Amino acid sequence: MAEFEPKILAFCCNWCSYAGADLAGVSRFQYPPNIRIIRVMCSGRVEPEFVVKALSSGADGVLVLGCHIGDCHYIHGNHRTKKRMAILEKILSYLGIDPRRMRLEWVSAAEGGRFAEVVTEFTEEMKGLGPNPLKEVRV
């Protein structure tokens, strides 16, 4: 049987992380092809509902990537993301979904290498966790 290939959804903010992903591309850093990117204007746009929707619609892991604290294009957008995701992690664990399936990371526009690193590491972690059990719950 072939190795389990997780499906990973990444929300990247327009100003830092998406540009970071772009830089990873133009710099030809290698990272696993399991990731699908959705560009949002700010990581503050990512509602915890999006993450749950992604998980129940078949994603094995969700990455939320934004600017470093203090570098947000909208000043305080990522402050809110951080607080929201902390609560989301709690609810996920109470519901019986491994909170590691959601990860919040800060990737700046200059960190192409870090983007590749984060994606590689996260993909490996998801491979270790196996398929997302929530997929089967949806009738």
Minimum separation from the CB atom of position 117 to other proteins (A): 21
Of 56 and 120, CB closest to other proteins: 56
User: Cβ(44)–Cβ(35) under 8 Å?
Assistant: no
Nearest CA among 120, 109, 31, 23 for reference residue 68: 109
CB 79 within 8 A of CB 69: yes
Tokens of 89: 């992690």
With respect to other proteins, which residue has the nearer C-beta, 27 or 68?
A: 68
Q: In this complex, which beta carbon is closest to other proteins, that of residue 3 or of residue 49?
A: 49
Judge residue 111's burial from the number of C-beta atoms within 10 Å of its C-beta, 0-12 exposed, 13-18 middle, 19 or more buried.
buried
Q: For the CA atoms of 40, 134, 128, 103, what is the dihedral angle to 10 degrees?
A: 30
Count of other CB atoms within 10 angstroms of residue 1: 3
In the complex, minimum distance from the CB of residue 53 to other proteins, in angstroms, rounded to a whole number: 6
Give the interface with other proteins as residue ranges (CB under 8 A): 48-49, 52-53, 56, 69, 76, 79-80, 82-84, 86-91, 93-99, 133-134, 137-138
Least spacing, CB of residue 14 vs other proteins, in Å = 20
Shortest separation between residue 72's beta carbon and other proteins, angstroms: 10
Nearer to other proteins by C-beta: 33 or 76?
76
Q: How far is the CB of 25 from other proteins (least distance, A)?
A: 30
Among residues 7 and 101, whose Cβ is nearest to other proteins?
A: 101
**At 125, is the secondary structure helix, strand, or coil?**
helix
